Structure 1
Amino acid sequence: MTDKNVIIKQLQDAIDQLKRENESLKGHIKELEAKLAMHDNAHTPPSLKRGGKRKKDQDAGDRKKPGQKNGHKGVTRPPAKPDRQVDVMKDRCPDCGAELGVPVSVESRIIEEIPEPQPVIVTEYKIAHYTCPHCQKEVVATDACCPKEGRFGNNTIVQAALLKYEDRLPHRKIQNTMMRQHGLKISPATILDLTRRAADAVQ
């Protein structure tokens, strides 16, 4: 191959390379023009202006069949054991007033319910003081339900501690909870003291 032919081949290869690059640039220009038109459209949502896909387009590729997979064992919560039983009876027909007599069947339904907010129980402790006839020392009677200090009982102290340390509630919300659940008026400062006493008791 002569030098002339070598030069011609090199030029032809360069032309082919330029053609390929030109086609690639044309495709890139069309893509940029499409994005620019999308930005100029006032009805295009911001998520699509940032180059995102529509949600339905995103979900189309990875949409899964709803429900549990084949072979998955279902888990059913066992019914609770009733604490009491209520017989729901009716004497007369609500339409004609006739006596209904003995039921033809009895349907059983187990309902789990939380009790209504319980009111505060106020107890007055009459604490007896004695003088020992043998050593002459004073002896003060005690009761497990009567705390040694303060005017709030053990259950109130425990409840305040649980709301504080288990539920992570601030003192103001503990105050609101005590008032809502039990009608107990208690200040945030007192709640702080109750939680301190609870912490001291477990140390």
Structure 2
Amino acid sequence: MNGDDLTKEELLSRFLQLEQRVEELEQDNAQLREKLQEKDERIEELETRLRKYENPHTPPSKRRSGTDGSPTSQDDEDDDVRTDGGTPGRKDGHDPEWRSMADPDEEIEVTCDCCPECGDRFDESVGVSPRLVEEIPDPQPPEITRYNRHYYQCDSCGTETVAAHPDCPDEGQFGVNVIAQSALSRYDHRLPYRKIADRFEQLHGLELSGASAWHATDRAARAGRCEYEQIRQEIQDADVVHIDETGIKRDGEQAWIWTFQTVQHTLYAVRESRGSDVPAEVLGEDFAGTVVCDGWTAYPAFSSNLQRCWAHILRE
């Protein structure tokens, strides 16, 4: 039977079937296009997230894959693979490093009179099995010193003078060690002021409020201001200064910690800005030396005398 033998009803039926099939294919095509669009958007999102970790300004320690750019094999995908592409532990053939033990401050002879099994008495020891134990002392109570500072009045000019002692602080009731430990707890151990106060009470039985811990760190900062400014002056006069910055939280708010380094000095500055105003503030607007830096836009906005970091150039 050929097309000429088909009736009009049969031709119409076949046409309707073809038309319905075309509509089904168009619907399938629309669904596939929609899925493809979703995948393209997802790929773009993942590539955007990946660029945060894989770009010329990302140090190797922050990258999520190996530094050679090669894909990770299936055998390496286990719990021992670090996020930076390395593996934990020393490399094969590396000499071990043992923890050095200090000389003992005290030696205690540990003896036994009789056998714990049969009760027979021992005549003498046949050897020694030494064991070094390092321990910290029990919490030490604070030392409280009263300084009776005598004051005098000059008969000639009437000037009043209060005698000073090197161990007596100029202000406050806490000594140098309390101030130093407060600053270390805050900025090295990153403890909140409340926990700093708790730490003093636990270790030394010293009652200290969170506000007192804050005042102690503030006094430490003011005590070091003169040396800080001296270091900044040395850096301002340097021929070459390495600068870098990274994000940091300060009281829960975004801030930036800047590093200014020369061969002999390193200076840190925490600022809310990541712009060129920070190096202009620290180094001075008339800084004539060379700045070694990465490709952040704040540096060319500050100075035209730049040396790009070789690590970034090689990654680029």
TM-score band, normalised by shorter chain: 0.5 to 0.7
Unaligned runs of 5+ in 2: 1-72, 79-88, 226-316
What letter is aligned with 2:212?
T
How large is the RMSD of aligned CA atoms in angstroms?
3.4
Aligned counterparts of 1:134 and 1:93: Cα–Cα separation in 2: 85
Alignment pair present for 1:196 and 2:218: yes
TM-score (norm 2): 0.39
Counterpart pick for 2:150 among 107, 117, 128: 128
Q: Report the equivalent of 2:187.
A: 165
Q: Report the equivalent of 1:71.
A: 93
Larger helix fraction of residues = 1
What do the CA deviations read for 1:10-52 (whole angstroms, capped 9, x no partner)? xxxxxxxxxxxxxxxxxxxxxxxxxxxxxxxxxxxxxxxxxxx
Identity of aligned residues (%): 43
Alignment pair present for 1:148 and 2:170: yes
Structure 1 pair 61/140, CA: closer, same or farther in 2 (3 Å)? closer
Q: Report the equivalent of 2:129.
A: 107
Give matches, 1:5-16, under 5 Å. none
What letter is aligned with 1:143?
H
Aligned counterparts of 1:69 and 1:197: Cα–Cα separation in 2: 46
Aligned counterparts of 2:103 and 2:118: Cα–Cα separation in 1: 38
1:143 CA drift (Å): 2.0
Aligned counterparts of 1:68 and 1:202: Cα–Cα separation in 2: 40
Q: Report the equivalent of 2:140.
A: 118
Larger strand fraction of residues = 2
Structure 1 pair 136/96, CA: closer, same or farther in 2 (3 Å)? farther
What do the CA deviations read for 1:36-71 (whole angstroms, capped 9, x no partner)? xxxxxxxxxxxxxxxxxxxxxxx974489xx97653
Aligned counterparts of 2:155 and 2:177: Cα–Cα separation in 1: 36
Paired residues in the alignment total 146
What letter is aligned with 1:171?
Y
Unaligned runs of 5+ in 1: 1-58
Aligned counterparts of 1:144 and 1:125: Cα–Cα separation in 2: 11
**Helix, strand or coil for the counterpart of 1:82?**
coil
TM-score (norm 1): 0.58
Structure 1 pair 68/165, CA: closer, same or farther in 2 (3 Å)? closer
Alignment pair present for 1:89 and 2:111: yes
**Helix, strand or coil for the counterpart of 1:127?**
coil
